[in-house]
Amino acid sequence: FFFAFVIRLIALNQSLWLDEAVTANVVMSYGFTEIVSKFSPTDFHPPLYYLFMKLWSNVFGYSEITLRMPSVLLSLMTGYVVYLIGGVWSAIFFLFNPLIVYYSQEARMYMMTTLLLTTALYFFLLIFKKLDSRLPFDGTQGKRGNDMWFGLFISLAFLTFYGSIFLIITMLVYLLFKKQYKFFIVSLSIFIVSLLIVSPLLYKQIINSKVVLTNVANWSLVLGKANIKNLLLIPVKFSIGRISFYPKWLYWGIAGIWTGFVLRTILIRSVLIKRVLFLFIFPLILGFLASFFTPMLQYFRFIYLIPIMSIVLGIGLQSRDDRSKIVIQYVILFGFVVFSLIYLLLPQFHREDWKSLVSNLPKDKPVYMITASSDPVKYYSKNLKIIPLRSDFIGTTEGQEEIVVIPYTSEIYGFDYKNVLSKAGYNLKKEVSFREVTCEQWVK
């Protein structure tokens, strides 16, 4: 836990990227009630994480490190719950998983969701420990109120991230399959209450999301369509993390071999472990099917399944009697640590460098960009004037011999700004890249 905490401090002050900047600007600009009434209807997430971050930032401030520290701490807390369920090695596999390390440094709701769902899993498994003494789980059996705690934590998870519904449904279905009707009814009743509370907001968000999908040309590509590529990326990223490099044949070769090794270790287990593995596979099936109607099949939206993967890995290897299990344990740990350190120590794998981009913007020239994607610029420069980059923007350039364009997300919005500028007599003079984001200088 100490070393897991230490490595999470490496590069923790790297630049916020778009979604993190949204979090920062929300907690800086809105009050508690305004987050629910003004911001959330235009967002695609429930408000609980933002409310928590509003409380946190009111006390500790708004720096990159401060905004990311809750995710650091929540990931460590999740590691402790994984330890309670699966033991030391399960916790190790979780804490040093490269994708978990990456998102434990992100000021978004994914680590909070992972903690809440893993805690719900803890109370969920208590009842099955009582039914099957072979389950390698050191929990308190027969304790009253487990169904209520389970219901509470799945409700909090849903109010933090709607995508948690796939694991919630899976656990509820499993309760029915095992004829645990009392546990099912109590927990479902609590969950329905939370659903009713958030339903007016959810309805508004669904309506607004349909408008966005209609008006923004390529928005569905960002959300993650139901296809084989997005499905295969889930186990790959769960094993290798966020890093990607060229040449692609080398990346896919390394990623494929490593992912195959991890999956093989997971799948060659006892029947008992395969039962637990159902909780990992079924949510992915539900997510894949749901993405035919509402695109959301991106690996980070299922990051709450990595604790289950870690538990299966840890328990499965511990159940082996041969000496090879020790070798496999350390090989997987070594691989996870290496991929984590590649991300942490090499800046080219860090997030979009808006901090450097904004610091290099000219102060005396107008800046054009998609305003819906301007939160990072607003975070790093409160006084910079941003002019919307849209179909009628060329009228605002009259009399300006030189302008600055940040083309970020223009392709998603399907706007060919270069063609518009060229027809107006502008030429691209200079283009500077700051790790996944660019700044362009156009002159007449």
Order of strands, sheet of 402-406, starting from the edge strand that comes earlier in the sequence: 386-388, 367-369, 402-406, 438-443, 427-433
Report the pLDDT averaged over residues 316-338.
85
Spell out the SS3 assignment of the chain: CHHHHHHHCCCCCCCCCHHHHHHHHHHHHCCHHHHHHHHHHHCCCCCHHHHHHHHHHHHHCCCHHHHHHHHHHHHHHHHHHHHHHHCHHHHHHHHCCHHHHHHCCCCCCHHHHHHHHHHHHHHHHHHHHHHCCCCCCCCCCCCCCHHHHHHHHHHHHHHHCHHHHHHHHHHHHHHHHCCCHHHHHHHHHHHHHHHHHHHHHHHHHHHHHHHHHHHCCCHHHHHCCCCHHHHHHHHHHHHHCCCCCCCHHHHHHHHHHHHHHHHHHHHCCCHHHHHHHHHHHHHHHHHHHHCCCCCCCCHHHHHHHHHHHHHHHHHHHHCCCCCHHHHHHHHHHHHHHHHHHHHHHCHHHCCCCHHHHHHCCCCCCCEEECHHHCHHHHHHCCCCCEEECCCCHHHHHCCCCEEEEECCCCCCCCCCHHHHHHHCCCEEEEEEECCCCEEEEEEC
Q: Which of 208, 311, 225 is nearest to 266 (CA)?
A: 311
Give the pLDDT band (50/70/90) at residue 84. Answer: very high
Q: How many CB atoms lie within 10 A of CB 245?
A: 13
Give 287 or 274, the one with higher predicted confidence: 287
Residue 360 and residue 432 in contact, taking contact as beta carbons nearer than 8 Å: yes
Q: Which of 65, 68, 95, 59 is nearest to 80 (CA)?
A: 95
DSSP bridge pairs for 388 = 369
DSSP bridge pairs for 387 = 368
Residue 86 and residue 137 in contact, taking contact as beta carbons nearer than 8 Å: yes
Residue 128 and residue 135 in contact, taking contact as beta carbons nearer than 8 Å: yes
pLDDT of 317 higher than 90: no
pLDDT of 58 higher than 70: yes
pLDDT of 133 higher than 70: no
pLDDT at 129: 62
pTM of the entire structure?
0.93
CA distance 149 to 156: 11
Question: Of 136-140, 336-340, 420-424, 431-435, which has the strongest mean pLDDT?
Answer: 336-340
Give 397 or 162, the one with higher predicted confidence: 162
CA distance 366 to 403: 6
CA distance 47 to 41: 10
With 0-12 CB in 10 A as exposed, 13-18 as middle and 19+ as buried, what is 215? exposed
pLDDT of 30 higher than 80: yes
Give me the amino acid identity at 124: F
Give the pLDDT band (50/70/90) at residue 215. Answer: confident
Taking the alpha carbons at both ends of the chain, their separation in whole angstroms is 58
Give 413 or 98, the one with higher predicted confidence: 98
pLDDT of 270 higher than 60: no
Report the pLDDT averaged over residues 259-278.
75
pLDDT at 140: 47
CA distance 116 to 4: 20
Q: At CB < 8 A and 24+ separation, what contacts does 218-225 make?
A: 218/411, 218/412, 218/413, 218/414, 219/412, 220/295, 221/412, 222/412, 223/294, 223/295, 223/296, 223/298, 224/291, 224/295, 224/296, 224/297, 224/298, 224/301, 225/291, 225/295, 225/297
155: alpha, beta or left? (left if phi > 0; alpha if psi -120 to 50)? alpha
pLDDT of 136 higher than 70: no
Q: Please, what is the Cα angle at 136 between 142 and 240, to 5 degrees?
A: 125
CA distance 346 to 85: 34
CA distance 161 to 164: 6
pLDDT tens by residue, 2-21: 999 999 999 999 999 999 99
Q: Please, what is the Cα angle at 57 between 15 and 373, to 5 degrees?
A: 45
Mean pLDDT of the chain: 89
CA distance 277 to 89: 17
pLDDT at 393: 81
